[in-house]
A = this chain, B = another copy of it.
Amino acid sequence: MFKKILIANRGEIAVRIIRACRELSIRTVAIYSEADAQALHVRMADESICVGPADANLSYRNIPNILSSAELTGAEAIHPGYGFLAEDGHFAEVCESVGVRFIGPSAEAIRLLGNKVKARETMKKAGIPIIPGSDGVVSGEAEAIEVANRIGYPVMIKAVSGGGGRGIRVVQKEEELSQLLKTARSEGRTVCGDESVYIEKYFVEPRHIEVQVLADEKGKAVFFPERDCSIQRRHQKLVEESPSPLVDEKLRRELGRAALEAVRATHYVNAGTVEFLFEKEFYFIEMNARIQVEHPVTEAVSGIDLVKEQIKIAAGQGLEFKQNQIKCQGHSMECRINAECPEKFTPSSGTISVFHLPGGPGVRVDTALVSPTKITPYYDPMVAKLIVHAENRELAIAKMKMALSEFFIEGIKTSLPLHRRIMEDQTFINGRYSTNYIESFLAASLSTPPDLPL
């Protein structure tokens, strides 16, 4: 086992990794930017080194300074956390080249999965369902009609160079296709001078379901009960739960098999997450080559410490448990508490002078909050993760409501009020939500009387 690990991250995930290291009797080196000199991860680590100014590109992404720090402190491995350098193939490669173990998959796997087109091709070859659509650009109306008929309506026409909603048209039936194809082409041409379009299956109310995997260097791999992360706004997850209220035992096994297939196809080692879109069937979206923010819900239902497992795998230890030893006990849920306006999602910075974290049985808070904390505008606005675990989904919601009701942060705006409202919302309680949930929930909220503040 490693004697010393450098944590190339900040905030709650750095704190989380330091805790795992402590339990494994591994000494820790924190790196920090000048803006984070007083941060909790710096105070908790055995050693700490300033690697640059507030700008993350010059500090938390400063590869030479981070590697120098590892060299100077004698750290044998680097845990990248999530974000920053976590999915930077170059960084993983340089780490290995200077003899520091990168706690994560190989540089090759990171690069392959980072290229969305290649990843999709690899998964398709491995027999994993991918989102149906044209093979690249469609040449004309005849091909478009042919593709749409093959994958079934509704379909989405997307300008290759479009984005932000521009150059995208949803086609409900064949009669509309010809006209909307023209519109999408012309919009693509207007916006970015490229009228190439491709066609993809359009999902009306899809869910985001993902499967956590662990794989060791000996080729042994296991999957965990799925996480449902459909509660998102602008592709940012807000609430995650495990298991999904939608998935039964049969589907769980199918998802797991597909996830393990993805591991094999990419020669993946360490912790990773295979993300699927689900609407009647499941389709591969992408595979994330890192520990994820929402990993605690999986830890809660499985009883397995994923960060400790990451470290053990990187140290060359084989997985100590088999697939059939991975349980799915009770129900877990996570709310991401962001420093932002709960209605408009604009970041909120300031000094948190007073806060109170919830506690009691089945309640876990992962945070780097320490009083007083300055929430700077430089980094991720997430200030805490509130995780609950209970016997079933209903009790987990009751526990989350309880915990949210006593969670108190003063000095900045947070998403706490939004989470409190979600936990009272009948659509969420029923578990019948899609990735459109937050949008429609907020739209409905705005039409409620003003005496129900967000």
Contact = CB atoms under 8 A, between A and B. Distances in A.
Interface stretch (A17-25, A57-65, A144-152, A241-249): A17-25
Contact of A19 (B40, B330, B395, B402): B402
B356 A401 contact: no
Contact of A356 (B24, B360, B366, B370): B370
B360 A361 contact: no
A260 interface: no
Contacts of A363: 364
A44 B19 CA distance: 30
Contacts of A356: 40, 370
Interface string A331-361: 0000000000000000000000010111111
Contact of A330 (B15, B303, B360, B361): B303
A24 B391 CA distance: 14
A359 B367 contact: yes
Nearest to A307: B361
A162 interface: no
A360 B395 contact: no
Given A360-B19, A364-B360, A401-B22, A406 B44 contact: yes
A114 B172 CA distance: 76
Interface residues of A, number: 40
A399 interface: yes
A391 B303 contact: yes
Quick one: which of A19, A305, A358, A391 has the most chain B CB within 10 A? A19
A1 interface: no
B370 A23 contact: no
A166 interface: no
A40 B354 CA distance: 13
A288 B330 CA distance: 31
A371 interface: yes
A405 interface: yes
Query: DSSP majority for the A interface?
Result: mixed
Contacts of A399: 23
Interface string A352-389: 00101111111111110011000000000000000000
A44 to B, nearest CB: 6
Contacts of A359: 15, 19, 357, 364-367
A402 B22 contact: yes
Contacts of A357: 357, 359
B366 A22 contact: no
Contacts of A93: none
Contacts of A365: 359
A117 interface: no
Interface in A122-166: none
Contact of A361 (B25, B296, B405): B296
Interface string A389-404: 0010001001101100
Contacts of A25: 398
A16 interface: yes
A217 interface: no
Contacts of A370: 356
Interface in A394-430: 395, 398-399, 401-402, 405-406
Interface string A6-20: 000000000110011
A15 B15 CA distance: 27
A145 to B, nearest CB: 53
Interface of A: 15-16, 19-20, 22-25, 40, 44, 296, 299-300, 303, 305, 329-330, 354, 356-367, 370-371, 391, 395, 398-399, 401-402, 405-406
Nearest 6 pairs of A and B residues by beta carbon: A22-B402, A19-B360, A23-B398, A23-B402, A299-B361, A359-B365
